[in-house]
Structure 1
Amino acid sequence: MAGKQTIRIALTGHRPSRLGGYDYYSPVNIAIAFKLREHLLSHIKQGKKIIAIGGMALGADTIFALVALKLKKQGFPVQFEAAIPCMNHEKKWPKESQEMWHSIVDQADFVTYTSTMYYQPYLMQVRNEYMVNSCDELIAIFDGSKGGTANCVNYAKKKEKKIIEVNPMALVVEVKGDLLKSDCDVMMHQANCQSTMGSGIAKQIKKTFPEVYKVDYESPLSPKEKLGKYTYARVQNQLKPVEVVNLYGQFRYGTDIQHTDYEALRSAIFGYLEDLKKRTHNISDLKVGVPKFIGCARGGGDWNIVKGILEEAAEAFFVRIYTYKLGN
């Protein structure tokens, strides 16, 4: 990969149980893959070539390998190094996981065994130290818990390596389905400040959960005072009690102009989540849902900007925000 600048990027991260499970096409795992792909592409857009170094474990390592190999297959300047910690690394895994491991090794540009010994737990850290010593940058899929990932991050800090942290508990996750029939603990939608709730998902909420419309039109705030704020009601859906939130991210309604006010929407989301955190103390275990294209389908907003606001909120409050879309 001579010519352009080459950057060596290693990854450390949690096992499937702390991510989206063993299905690498689960919504959470896809969200992690999307974040990794975006980051690698950001380097490529700067004219860099990438050597991605993966530790070949189940979970984050496998997601990283699949992302790197797909970029390579699509013609991007990416090579993959499989850093294998021991001679029988995959032997006790389920058959399907072993097959994926071998497929990744077969497609790797470089295969490095960091030990010629058979499995011993400490060899995982030997592998981690090799990756950190070899890389220019470390990506950590890390929720802050103790364990091998934390040990790798601490070693990278000691070596003064650049670290990019992605908290798997703080993501925007896309799913297919009906938000109002989901298992979310919190459902947020954008409302205008005129107390109409007359179209889109707002109309469905008004019909399904009249209490939510009641807190909207009974708010003591004037329409101008509402902008950037929120109201909410505790309701019972088909599964459990749910908090449904009116986010006042637009003053008026209509299809003539862009009505979504990004700062108002951000203020409403952050204000509500801050209040929720004070009331419940820990919101990282709660499932928060919004309609995909919130503020865009009828408010005229730009989804890339709105999704950025959601990602900012997810990272700030360590909560997963699920975007729901019906159909394909």
Structure 2
Amino acid sequence: MKVFVITGYKSFELGIFNQKHEAIKYIKKAIKNELLTRIDEGLEWVVISGQLGVELWTAEVAIELRENYPHLKLAVLTPFMDQESKWNENLQEYYHSILHEADFVETITNRPYEGPWQFKAKDELLLSKSDGSIIVYDEEKEGSPKYFLEKAREYGNTSDYQVIQITLADLQNVIEEEQWENDENV
């Protein structure tokens, strides 16, 4: 059974403040491409921690992929209880719709937010329970995924752990590919 953690930028780190932003479709396509490759290699579980941005977009992609790959499962392992409590109502509804579609939902520390140690505990658990990670992150645009990427690389140095990074250049390639395909179809 192959399990991959998918994480990356939070939406606000990319300057995305609504669900209709044009960039989301390209990010989701890049994630979909990676997931399809991993499915061909035996991927069964997609694991996220439920953060706004890349993680919830990944959940949407995984849910969509289940139509053709019914064996694909989605797990949401949150670092603490009620992580969405300070989000606006629309984002809370969106988050809860993802949780409703997930195959497994669990809170790692089983308590409300108490401190950064909960994120550390989440990262350690996710790394120990997965075969690899797909991380949407580029060193040129620093953000919160940097810490998970560093831990994943360290973990990969001492175990058979796969770390796949989707960079801004990769996203640009997806955009150009899509534009080329659209030009071909005109």
AA matched with 1:293? W
Residue 63 of structure 1, CA deviation:
0.8
Which runs of no fewer than 5 residues in structure 1 stay unpaired? 1-5, 175-288, 298-302, 304-324
1:169 & 1:19 partners in 2: Cα distance? 14
Residue 55 of structure 1, CA deviation:
1.1
How many residue pairs end up in the alignment? 179
1:290 & 1:137 partners in 2: Cα distance? 26
2:72 corresponding residue in structure 1: 78
2:107 & 2:180 partners in 1: Cα distance? 46
AA matched with 2:34? H
1:67 and 2:58 aligned: no
1:95 and 2:89 aligned: yes
1:292 corresponding residue in structure 2: 179
**Deviation digits for residues 268-296 of structure 1 (CA, Å, limit 9, x no counterpart):** xxxxxxxxxxxxxxxxxxxxx899339x9
CA 7–95 in structure 1, closer or farther in 2 if over 3 Å, else same: same
2:5 corresponding residue in structure 1: 10
> Secondary structure, in 3 states, of the residue corresponding to 2:66?
helix
1:21 and 2:16 aligned: yes
2:137 corresponding residue in structure 1: 142
> Secondary structure, in 3 states, of the residue corresponding to 1:124?
helix
User: Which one has more relative contact order, counting CA pairs under 8 Å at least 6 apart?
Assistant: 2
2:38 & 2:177 partners in 1: Cα distance? 31
AA matched with 1:148? S
AA matched with 2:76? A
Which runs of no fewer than 5 residues in structure 2 stay unpaired? none
1:291 & 1:135 partners in 2: Cα distance? 31
1:171 corresponding residue in structure 2: 171
AA matched with 1:157? R
1:1-328 matches, within 5 Å, as 6-19=1-14, 21-46=16-41, 48-122=42-116, 123-144=118-139, 145-160=141-156, 161-168=161-168, 170-172=170-172, 174=175, 292-293=179-180
8 Å contact kept, 1:15–1:57: yes
Residue 140 of structure 1, CA deviation:
0.8
CA 59–168 in structure 1, closer or farther in 2 if over 3 Å, else same: farther
Q: Select the structure that is richer in strand.
A: 1
2:8 & 2:107 partners in 1: Cα distance? 19
**Deviation digits for residues 152-203 of structure 1 (CA, Å, limit 9, x no counterpart):** 11111121121110124652365xxxxxxxxxxxxxxxxxxxxxxxxxxxxx
CA 22–129 in structure 1, closer or farther in 2 if over 3 Å, else same: farther
Structure-1-length-normalised TM-score = 0.49
AA matched with 1:167? T
8 Å contact kept, 2:30–2:170: no
**Deviation digits for residues 54-93 of structure 1 (CA, Å, limit 9, x no counterpart):** 1101011111111111111344421000011111210000
CA 170–291 in structure 1, closer or farther in 2 if over 3 Å, else same: closer
Residue 148 of structure 1, CA deviation:
3.3
8 Å contact kept, 2:4–2:43: no
AA matched with 1:58? L
2:170 & 2:46 partners in 1: Cα distance? 24
Q: Report % sequence identity.
A: 21
| Higher Cα radius of gyration | 1
